[in-house]
């Protein structure tokens, strides 16, 4: 008789979450008999404080759920139908490599488009062996502009992406402004510090079209019309100058362009801004005077501000506020946008290649249009770290593009996404618990290394390995190319000029901080990283880029047929669309009761939400917390969440922001009617 296997004792293994979130939680993963049974937070990243979000707590269901891709698949049905047969890695990669070689040999390298974005913020799983492969094949380049492009341009232009106020330092603030950000959902580790500040009497201002949970507890809630933040920010700037509350000595010593900024703000009286933004002029003035009076004052600017035609200028004007009011130089004072730039690590160094500027570049926000009409045509699409059908604008165009019979699509993902259903070849990817990673937060100032917690589930493989194999199979591998996670991580860590001891620090502590530490004070520990170390309030390059120059306000074109603004910010159920397979069942459109009543819509009705881009059929939930005139469907839904399989992205135009060519997710204008009837 065979002896029973000796059960492996339960182990707790350290890891770090590299998913697209500011907080970058340090994790403790419980493993029993080689399987992950639970995921919790540790204190290695001090911001994590031992707790994590409810989404990543459900990670075991993601690892072992029915949607997990366990082996390579090759399409046997129609595109989008989701019928595949099992294949070996050799067969699947052989097929992909043969297609790639065929295109390159006929001089059509640019017919290949790699499409990747937010699946992992790790340094190992993007821009390493993938960049090597696609660059050497001469593939088209992707402008990864779907998120943070406008805010990144603004932060770079004004401050050279200076490090922001540490989220834990919000505990020291006496005034906190949450501008287009919803940390109850999108960065929960700010909350304890915010609550601690409020307990000590700090005031809270929230600028958001929705009365979010934090807006309920705010002293001032400006329920701005989507896309009109620029008007409010300029009115506050104008008020500060006019009332003699601008810090002229600080501005003169530390900035250039403040007179020009002042002049551009002059026309924006509180009354005019109030009209444009749909809020009260008195509340704008009350906000301005609180901001002038209280210190330390911190502004947490989020990404809800940038996703519209005025988004870049709006972020710039918001980031100018602490300079104008002289809020720097004290703990808990200043601003926080993205802190991603504090690490100067370079994945491309490990690739050994940099995409050549001469090669065609395709903006991912127009991927649908590009798949349909780019010339030379895109013939091979390689999707990884992304679920473009659900997350990019103009979903209808993306779907039509993916449906092209002459397009060869590869989707490389841990789970069977809606995009993967359109693939010719599906390749199974490991998740971050099954591979090594090196990652940083864009809120928390941490860099973390992690080792595989469990072996790959099924036949899944890590990104760096698969792209390394494709380099060999297509003949572009060169002697000396580093291919293992260790090889790549070593080169990436050596690429940092600001810290030269990262490898040693990470293996000793499991975490590393920038040279300035974990909670810099702006204008004491960190300074603008512009060439002259000054704040550029009207940087020339941004002024040239913005269609109406920087701070020029583009009106919302009146379209009476689509009177409602549809916004689609983050929810607490998914990270973008990641983990969306766990959100089963229908999701309802949120709508103010007045807007519903005007259309004869009652709670629970099925509606058709539509505009010139497409339509979504779904349920309705009446929400007093919505600003009248604004409706909400969360970002990151999967087709299973609506009646017709379309999501908010189906209603998002592929127009671009004023700076950075970013996505205008919240510029969607729609009408809603009861299913089957015409509205009014």
Ligand X SMILES: Nc1nc2c(c(=O)[nH]1)N[C@H]1C(S)=C(S)[C@@H](COP(=O)(O)OP(=O)(O)OC[C@H]3O[C@@H](n4cnc5c(=O)[nH]c(N)nc54)[C@H](O)[C@@H]3O)O[C@H]1N2
Residues that bind ligand X (CB under 6 A): 20-21, 117-120, 125, 146-147, 179-182, 185-187, 207-210, 212, 224, 226-227, 229, 302-305, 307-308, 384-388, 391, 412-415, 417, 429, 431, 463, 567-570, 572, 574-578, 635-636, 648-649, 652, 665-666
Q: How far apart are CA 13 and CA 449, in angstroms?
A: 13
| Residues sharing a CB contact under 8 Å with residue 550, sequence separation 6 or more, in sequence order | 264, 313, 316, 538, 539, 542, 543, 659
CB 442, min distance to ligand X, A? 9
DSSP helix/strand/coil, 442:
coil
CB 676, min distance to ligand X, A? 25
Within 377-515, where are the H helices? 388-391, 395-403, 463-473, 485-494, 502-509
> Six-digit token pair at 172?
């020291």
**Partner whose footprint covers residue 652, from ligand X, Mo ion, none (CB < 5 to 8 Å by kind):** ligand X
**Partner whose footprint covers residue 146, from ligand X, Mo ion, none (CB < 5 to 8 Å by kind):** ligand X
- Measured from the CB atom, is 125 or 140 closer to ligand X? 125
> Six-digit token pair at 294?
């209280």
CA-nearest of 232, 332, 307, 309 to 272 is: 232
CB 397, min distance to Mo ion, A? 21
CA-nearest of 114, 144, 117 to 470 is: 114
Shortest-Cβ-distance residue relative to ligand X: 304
**Partner whose footprint covers residue 185, from Mo ion, ligand X, none (CB < 5 to 8 Å by kind):** ligand X
**Partner whose footprint covers residue 327, from ligand X, Mo ion, none (CB < 5 to 8 Å by kind):** none
Burial of 71 per CB tally in 10 Å (0-12, 13-18, 19+): middle
Q: How far apart are CA 340 and CA 282, in angstroms?
A: 36
Q: How far apart are CA 359 and CA 370, in angstroms?
A: 15
- Measured from the CB atom, is 284 or 521 closer to ligand X? 284
CB 572, min distance to ligand X, A? 5
CB 148, min distance to Mo ion, A? 6
- Measured from the CB atom, is 212 or 577 closer to Mo ion? 577
Q: Which residues pair with 656 in a beta bridge?
A: 663
- Measured from the CB atom, is 329 or 619 closer to ligand X? 619
How many CA atoms are closer than 13 Å to the CA of 318, on its beta-carbon side?
A: 32
Q: Which residues pair with 177 in a beta bridge?
A: 205, 299
Identify which range of 72-80, 147-155, 400-408, 594-602 contacts Mo ion by CB under 5 A.
Answer: 147-155
Q: What is the DSSP string of 213-253?
A: HHHHT-SEEE-PPTT-HHHHHHHHHHHHHHTT-S-HHHHHH
Rule CB under 5 A: say whether 236 interacts with Mo ion. no
Identify which range of 10-18, 144-152, 321-329, 364-372 contacts Mo ion by CB under 5 A.
Answer: 144-152
**Partner whose footprint covers residue 343, from Mo ion, ligand X, none (CB < 5 to 8 Å by kind):** none
* Residue count, binding to Mo ion (CB under 5 A): 1
β-strands 408-413, 380-384 pairing: parallel
**Partner whose footprint covers residue 385, from ligand X, Mo ion, none (CB < 5 to 8 Å by kind):** ligand X
Please identify which residue in 36, 39, 63, 147 interacts with Mo ion, judged by CB under 5 A: 147
- Measured from the CB atom, is 117 or 513 closer to ligand X? 117
Within 499-615, where are the H helices? 502-509, 540-545, 593-598
- Measured from the CB atom, is 147 or 232 closer to Mo ion? 147
CB 376, min distance to ligand X, A? 25
Shortest-Cβ-distance residue relative to Mo ion: 147
CA-nearest of 433, 428, 180, 189 to 315 is: 180
- Measured from the CB atom, is 465 or 494 closer to ligand X? 465
**Partner whose footprint covers residue 336, from ligand X, Mo ion, none (CB < 5 to 8 Å by kind):** none
**Torsional sign, CA 366, 368, 372, 374:** positive
CA-nearest of 59, 13, 8, 64 to 32 is: 8
- Measured from the CB atom, is 338 or 641 closer to Mo ion? 338
DSSP run (H or E) holding 27: strand 26-32
**Partner whose footprint covers residue 63, from ligand X, Mo ion, none (CB < 5 to 8 Å by kind):** none
- Measured from the CB atom, is 157 or 388 closer to ligand X? 388
| Residues sharing a CB contact under 8 Å with residue 560, sequence separation 6 or more, in sequence order | none
- Measured from the CB atom, is 147 or 410 closer to Mo ion? 147
Give the residues lining the site for Mo ion (CB under 5 A). 147
């Amino acid at each position: 008789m065979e002896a029973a296997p000796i059960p492996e004792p339960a182990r707790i293994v350290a890891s770090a979450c590299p998913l697209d979130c500011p907080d970058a939680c340090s994790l403790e993963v419980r493993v029993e008999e080689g399987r992950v049974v639970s995921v919790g937070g540790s204190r290695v990243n001090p911001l994590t404080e031992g707790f994590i979000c409810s989404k990543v707590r459900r990670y075991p269901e993601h690892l072992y759920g029915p949607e997990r891709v366990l082996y390579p698949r090759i399409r046997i049905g129609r595109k989008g139908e989701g019928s595949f047969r099992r294949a070996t890695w050799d067969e699947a990669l052989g097929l992909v490599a043969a297609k790639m070689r065929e295109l390159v040999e006929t001089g059509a390298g640019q017919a290949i488009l790699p499409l990747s974005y937010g699946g992992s913020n790790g340094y190992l799983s993007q821009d390493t062996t993938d960049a090597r492969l696609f660059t050497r094949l001469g593939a088209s380049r992707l402008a990864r502009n779907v998120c943070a492009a406008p805010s990144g341009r603004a932060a770079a232009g004004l401050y050279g992406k200076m490090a922001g106020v540490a989220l834990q330092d919000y505990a020291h603030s006496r005034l906190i402004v949450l501008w287009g950000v919803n940390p109850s959902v999108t960065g929960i580790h700010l909350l304890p510090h915010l609550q601690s500040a409020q307990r000590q009497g700090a005031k809270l201002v929230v600028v958001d079209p929705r009365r979010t949970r934090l807006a309920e507890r705010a002293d001032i809630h400006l329920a701005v019309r989507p896309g009109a933040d620029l008007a409010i920010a300029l009115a506050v700037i104008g008020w500060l100058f006019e009332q003699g509350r601008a810090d002229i000595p600080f501005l003169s010593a530390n900035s250039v362009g403040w007179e020009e900024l002042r002049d551009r703000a002059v026309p924006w009286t509180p009354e005019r801004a109030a009209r444009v933004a749909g809020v009260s002029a008195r509340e704008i003035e009350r906000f301005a005077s609180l901001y002038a009076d209280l210190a330390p004052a911190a502004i947490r600017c989020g990404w809800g501000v940038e996703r519209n035609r005025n988004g870049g200028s709006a972020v710039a004007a918001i980031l100018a506020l602490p300079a104008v009011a002289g809020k720097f130089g004290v703990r808990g004072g200043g601003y926080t946008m993205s802190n991603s730039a504090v690490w100067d690590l370079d994945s491309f160094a490990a690739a050994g290649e940099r995409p050549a500027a001469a090669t065609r570049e395709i903006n991912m926000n127009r991927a649908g249009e590009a798949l349909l009409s780019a010339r030379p045509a895109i013939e091979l699409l390689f999707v990884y770290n992304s679920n473009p059908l659900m997350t990019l604008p103009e979903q209808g165009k993306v779907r039509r593009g993916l449906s092209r019979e002459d397009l060869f699509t590869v989707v490389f993902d841990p789970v069977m996404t809606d995009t993967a259903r359109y693939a010719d070849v599906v390749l199974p990817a490991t998740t971050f618990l099954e591979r090594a990673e090196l990652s940083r937060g864009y809120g928390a100032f941490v860099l973390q290394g992690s080792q595989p917690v469990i072996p790959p589930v099924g036949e899944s493989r890590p990104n760096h390995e698969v792209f390394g194999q494709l380099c060999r199979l297509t003949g572009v591998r060169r002697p000396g190319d580093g291919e293992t996670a260790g090889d790549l991580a070593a080169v990436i860590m050596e690429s940092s000029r600001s810290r030269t001891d990262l490898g040693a620090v990470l293996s000793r502590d499991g975490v590393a901080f920038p040279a300035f530490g974990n909670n810099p004070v702006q204008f004491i520990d960190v300074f603008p990283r512009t060439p002259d170390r000054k704040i550029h309030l009207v940087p020339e390059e941004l002024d040239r880029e913005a269609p109406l120059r920087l701070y020029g306000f583009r009106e919302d074109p009146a379209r009476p047929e689509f009177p409602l603004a549809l916004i689609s910010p983050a929810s607490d159920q998914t990270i973008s669309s990641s983990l969306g397979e766990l959100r089963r069942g229908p999701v309802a459109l949120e709508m103010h009761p007045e807007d519903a009543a005007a259309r004869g819509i009652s709670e629970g009705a099925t509606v058709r939400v539509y505009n010139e881009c497409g339509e979504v059929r779904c349920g309705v939930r009446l929400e007093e917390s919505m600003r009248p005139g604004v409706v909400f469907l969360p970002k990151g839904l999967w087709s299973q969440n609506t009646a017709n399989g379309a999501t908010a992205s189906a209603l998002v135009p592929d127009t671009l922001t004023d700076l950075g060519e970013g996505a205008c997710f919240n510029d969607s204008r729609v009408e809603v009617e009861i299913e089957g009837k015409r509205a009014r």
